[in-house]
């Protein structure tokens, strides 16, 4: 730990306003590094510049002075409950974390991690140096890839719809016959439902196993709802994989092969990345 004096610059002309300190991430730094070069335009609105708060010889926190009155518990609770404001905060946070990662490994902190000032931030963050170091080591040279599996909601096959109609219209007027037809339709639907479920589960499992052969770690996230996937798709798997930079081409190869295999089925595989390894910093991942 470098117990030196606070290096924080005071934003010029801002001395009258009260600020809090927002911490975005902890970065690995080497002497002379400028991990946030070119990020002047980033960060939360109406706030100071992004700066580095040294924690020890190898790590620094990426911080920004923000207007205290906009970052009280009350104000934040209100803002974060508003979808538009929540999005602005989230995207600002994400942009900073992502920009910082261009220079080296980064361990993000959750949105709105706030301290009264630089001294408080350094005091608390310094208590967690081993965790940060461990996480930085884990994600160094690696990226997170998001892999999602969707089941396309196709219309029922026309032949089945026709046979349903046939059973009731052309079919049997007797009550017993109608009952049998009904039961058979119910059984048919149940069978379809089960086979669809089994197929989707099996496909998701195949995707996971394939991705996992390349990955250094994996995390299952909660599947997204219809507002995100659209009405015609059901998300059956939402996962993240921690992949060595040198192996990301392999990931794309195994998933491309699976896509070819599953072509013609109702299964779709989506990939996005590289992400900063958000999902692999806490140390609970498999």
Partner 1 sequence: MTQLDYAGSVPASYPSGPTTANLADILERVLDKGIVIAGDIKIDLLDIELLTIRLRLFVSSVETAKRAGIDWWETDPALSSRAAESALAEENRQLRDRLAALEGGEPSGSDDGGRRSPKARSGTGGRRRRDGDGEGS
Where in 43-102 is the site for partner 1 (CB under 8 A)?
A: 71-73, 76-77, 80-81, 83, 86-87, 90-91, 93-94, 97-98, 101-102
Of the pair 13, 262, the CB lying nearest partner 1 is at: 262
Phi and psi at 236, nearest 5°, equal: -105, -15
Figure out which of the listed residues 10, 172, 193, 265 binds partner 1, where binding follows CB under 8 A: 193
213 touching partner 1, by CB under 8 A? no
* Signed CA dihedral, 91, 274, 145, 126: sign only: negative
Q: How far is CA 190 from CA 182, 183, 193, 200, 202, in A?
A: 12, 10, 5, 15, 18
Site for partner 1 in 221-280 (CB under 8 A): 221-229, 234-236, 245, 248-249, 252, 256, 268-279
Of 55, 125, 167, 214, the residue at the interface with partner 1 (CB under 8 A) is: 125
Least distance between partner 1 and beta carbon 95 (Å): 8
Which of 70, 196, 206, 208 contacts partner 1 by CB under 8 A? 196
Least distance from partner 1 to the Cβ atom of residue 115, Å: 5
Buried b or exposed e, range 54-66, using 16+ CB within 10 angstroms: bbeeebbbbbbbb
Q: Which residue from 269, 251, 265 is spatially nearest to 198, judged by alpha carbons?
A: 265
> Which of 247, 240, 243, 244 has its CA nearest to residue 223?
240
| Pattern 5-44, partner 1, x by CB under 8 A | ---------------x--x-xx------------------
From the CB of 178, what's the least distance to partner 1, in Å?
26
Strands, sheet with 106-115, edge to edge from the N-terminal-most edge strand: 50-54, 59-67, 19-28, 106-115
* CB closer to partner 1 out of 142 and 169: 142
CB of 171 to partner 1, least distance (A): 27
Rounded Cα gap, residues 257 and 259, in angstroms: 5
CB of 172 to partner 1, least distance (A): 29
58/270 with CB nearer partner 1: 270
- Output 82 or 177, the one with its CB closest to partner 1: 82
Which lies closer to partner 1 via its Cβ, residue 43 or residue 277? Answer: 277
Work out whether 215 is an interface residue with partner 1 (CB under 8 A).
Answer: no
**Contact partners, residue 234, CB within 8 Å, separation at least 6:** 150, 151, 153, 200, 226
Give every CB contact of residue 247 below 8 A, 6+ residues apart in sequence: 214
Phi, psi of 124 (to 5 degrees): -75, -45
């Amino acid at each position: 730990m470098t117990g030196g004096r606070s290096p924080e610059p005071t934003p010029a002309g801002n001395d009258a306003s009260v600020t809090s300190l927002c911490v975005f991430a902890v970065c690995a730094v080497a002497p002379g590094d400028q991990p946030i070069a070119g990020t002047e335009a980033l960060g939360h609105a109406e706030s100071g510049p992004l700066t580095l708060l040294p924690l020890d010889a190898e790590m620094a926190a990426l911080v920004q002075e923000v207007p205290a009155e906009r970052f009280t518990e009350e104000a934040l609770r209100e803002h974060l409950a508003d979808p538009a404001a929540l999005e602005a905060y989230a995207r600002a946070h994400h942009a900073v974390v992502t920009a910082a990662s261009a220079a080296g490994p980064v361990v993000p902190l959750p949105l709105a991690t706030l301290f009264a000032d630089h001294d408080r931030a350094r005091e608390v963050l310094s208590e967690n140096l081993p965790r940060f170091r461990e996480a930085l080591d884990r994600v160094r040279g690696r990226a997170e890839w998001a892999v999602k599996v969707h089941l396309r909601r196709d219309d029922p096959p026309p032949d089945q719809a026709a046979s349903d109609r046939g059973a009731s219209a052309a079919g049997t007027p007797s009550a017993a016959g109608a009952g049998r037809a009904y039961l058979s339709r119910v059984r048919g639907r149940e069978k379809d439902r089960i086979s669809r479920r089994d197929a989707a589960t099996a496909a998701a499992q195949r995707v996971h196993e394939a991705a996992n052969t390349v990955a250094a770690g994996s995390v299952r996230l909660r599947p997204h709802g219809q507002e995100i996937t659209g009405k015609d798709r059901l998300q059956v798997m939402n996962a993240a994989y921690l992949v060595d930079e040198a192996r990301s081409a392999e990931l794309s190869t195994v998933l491309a092969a699976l896509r070819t295999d599953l072509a013609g089925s109702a299964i779709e595989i989506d990939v996005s990345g590289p992400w900063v390894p958000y999902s692999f910093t806490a140390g609970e991942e498999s």
